[in-house]
């Protein structure tokens, strides 16, 4: 059992398969691989040739989708979802996939991302008499879809999504097949693969590795693919816009063994560390260490670039139960002490470079630095493999409010004092973009949480969105 227990919460992983004899079991395995994208609820929906059945629950994949329950979900096509919630929103009615029946059709939906005009859309729909079952903005897409006068599900979906702003990588399971679609900016990843001749779609390629599927390509920003007995039919129903894939997927969210946005996450993370070493060396340092696990790959890159030895100065306890993923501040502080233990023999008397992927509130980082200091470090020089996070995300990542973002409240010196390090440096915005693009330029990136430059119009209502993010 793993959990990441940080103040950066990821929102949702999705997986779908069409026309495979072990559809539900394959979704179950794939959701294991995507568990890092959401640990609070999960679910699966399966089409058995007549009807879509679904099963959702609170908890990790093995808690909710046990083999006995999966046996009841017979069928050849299925979608699945894992979700992380914001404080207080961890409720069953928000667990996905959602399932609706309307006139002669049933549809199940799994969504990763966040609509930025959800408040306005929901109010309009409620004025027209719509009744919502959940507080999730994904349900808005279904309401818009059933109101469309288009003849096909694809046409209805395209019309519904043309009214939605923000981020969505979506899977829809229908009586005819599977539909995958990515918003025109391509904020969240969505990958296409094949297993035993059957098409599969997943948030990240690590899911394909686990089930033995071959990675074919990514769904392009703004692309919709329909997978049915006719095969795979791609369409591009939206006007093209400059792509803006979430750069934070590379920095923290995606698994390092995945390929997304055209690149290996592992390689990009290492390059971020190398750029950091180039920009902010620590003369006379003895070792480079990471805050595990998220800082491991950038720390390795930093060490390789700087020629310093990389050491595991902290060991992570992998046996922490779900009790400690509760997102209250008090629990978070307990979790820091329980989760990571410094190795005194590695750290004592050393001038240490500590590499971390990012700092959000600073409280978690401060607790870890304190532990390293108590283990006898002579000097602690912290290096962060992204720029300071100063702005909220409206596209599906739950950073705390601006006031809780430490880089928004304090300058560099103030943050260094707060977390208790001898020096602190962040990777520059230019350095990050350079490292992320690598040799192969793979399109544009959203950097809004660092730069404040939002790729889309941010509706005023999104600032106080009462709906849940995914």
Q: Crossing angle of helices 118-127/138-147, nearest 10°?
A: 50
Q: Which of 173, 382, 449, 458 binds ligand SF4 (CB under 6 A)?
A: 449
Match 């934070």 to its residue by tokens: 248
DSSP letter (8 states) at residue 231: E
**Structure-token match 């997304």, residue found:** 260
The reply on whether position 447 binds ligand SF4 by CB under 6 A is yes
Q: Which stretch binds ligand SF4 (CB under 6 A): 52-60, 121-129, 245-253, 273-281?
A: 245-253
Nearest to 97 by CA among 67, 68, 130, 139: 139
Token digits for 309?
């030895």
Judged by CB under 6 A, the stretch of 75-83, 102-110, 246-254, 371-379 that binds ligand SF4 is 246-254
Q: How many residues does the chain have?
A: 470
Under the binding rule (CB under 6 A), the answer on residue 247 touching ligand SF4 is yes
And the tokens for 54?
Answer: 């679904």
> CA dist 431 to 246, 391, 435, Å?
16, 19, 6
When the beta carbons of 77 and 358 are compared against ligand SF4, the nearer one is 358
448 touches ligand SF4 by CB under 6 A: yes
Cβ closest to ligand SF4, residue 287 vs residue 448: 448
Residue labelled with tokens 């279904």: 142
Q: Which is nearer to ligand SF4, 168 or 248 (CB)?
A: 248
Closest to ligand SF4 by CB, 113 or 180? 113
User: Per CB under 6 A, which of residues 372..431 are in contact with ligand SF4?
Assistant: 393, 395, 397
- Of 246, 354, 421, 424, the one binding ligand SF4 (CB under 6 A) is 246
Binding flag, residue 5, ligand SF4 (CB under 6 A): no
Instruction: Find the part of the chain contacting ligand SF4 (CB under 6 A) among 314-322, 367-375, 414-422, 441-449.
Output: 441-449
Active site residue 12: yes
- List residues bridging with 424 in a β-sheet: 382
Helix axes 265-279 and 296-306, enclosed angle (nearest 10): 50
187 binds ligand SF4 (CB under 6 A): yes
Contact 378, 350 (CB under 8 A): yes
Using the Cα atoms of residue 332, residue 41, residue 61 and residue 139 in order, give the sign of their dihedral: negative
The residue (of 177 and 400) whose beta carbon lies closer to ligand SF4 is 400
**Which of these ranges, 84-92, 128-136, 240-248, 343-351, lies near ligand SF4 under the rule CB under 6 A?**
240-248
Structure tokens at 177: 């097949």
- The residues that are catalytic are 12
Residues near ligand SF4, by CB under 6 A: 187, 246-248, 393, 395, 397, 446-449
């Amino acid at each position: 059992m793993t959990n990441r227990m940080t103040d950066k919460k990821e929102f949702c992983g999705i997986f779908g398969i069409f026309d495979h004899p072990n559809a539900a079991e394959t979704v179950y395995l794939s959701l294991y691989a995507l568990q890092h994208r959401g640990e609070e609820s999960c679910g699966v929906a399966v089409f058995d040739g007549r009807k879509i059945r679904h099963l959702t629950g609170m908890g990790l994949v093995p808690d909710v989708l046990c083999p006995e329950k999966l046996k009841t979900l017979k069928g050849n096509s299925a979608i699945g979802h894992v979700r992380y919630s914001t404080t207080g929103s961890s409720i069953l009615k928000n667990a996905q996939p959602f399932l609706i029946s309307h006139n002669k059709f049933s549809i199940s939906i799994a969504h990763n991302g966040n609509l930025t005009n959800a408040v306005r859309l929901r109010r309009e729909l409620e004025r027209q008499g719509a009744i919502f079952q959940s507080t999730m903005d994904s349900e808005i897409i279904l309401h818009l879809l059933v109101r469309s006068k288009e003849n096909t599900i694809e046409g209805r979906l395209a019309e519904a999504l043309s009214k939605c702003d923000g981020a969505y990588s979506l899977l829809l399971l229908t009586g005819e097949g599977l539909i995958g679609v990515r918003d025109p900016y391509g904020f969240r990843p969505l990958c296409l693969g094949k297993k035993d001749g059957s098409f599969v779609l997943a948030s990240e390629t690590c899911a394909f590795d686990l089930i033995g599927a071959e990675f074919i390509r990514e769904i392009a920003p703004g692309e919709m693919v329909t997978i049915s007995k006719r095969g795979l039919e791609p369409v591009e129903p939206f006007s093209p816009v400059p792509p803006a894939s979430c750069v934070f997927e590379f920095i923290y969210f995606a698994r390092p063994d995945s390929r997304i946005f055209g690149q290996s996450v592992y390689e990009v993370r290492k390059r971020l560390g190398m750029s950091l070493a180039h920009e902010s060396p620590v003369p006379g340092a003895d070792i480079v260490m990471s805050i595990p696990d998220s800082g491991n790959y950038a720390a390795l890159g930093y060490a390789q670039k700087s020629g310093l030895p990389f050491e595991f100065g902290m060991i992570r306890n992998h046996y922490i139960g779900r009790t400690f993923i509760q997102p209250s501040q008090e629990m978070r502080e307990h979790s820091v002490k329980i989760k990571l233990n410094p190795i005194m023999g590695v750290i004592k008397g050393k001038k240490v470079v500590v590499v971390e992927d990012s700092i959000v509130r600073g409280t978690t980082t401060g607790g870890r630095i304190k532990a390293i200091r108590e283990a006898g470090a002579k000097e602690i020089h912290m290096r962060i493999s992204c720029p300071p996070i100063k702005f909220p995300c409206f596209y599906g990542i739950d950073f705390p409010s601006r006031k809780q973002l430490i880089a928004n409240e304090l300058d560099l010196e103030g943050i260094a004092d707060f977390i208790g390090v001898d020096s602190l440096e962040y990777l520059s915005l230019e350095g990050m973009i350079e490292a992320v693009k690598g040799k192969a330029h793979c399109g544009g990136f959203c950097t809004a949480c660092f730069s404040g430059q939002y790729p889309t119009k941010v509706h005023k209502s999104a600032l106080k969105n009462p709906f849940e993010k995914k």
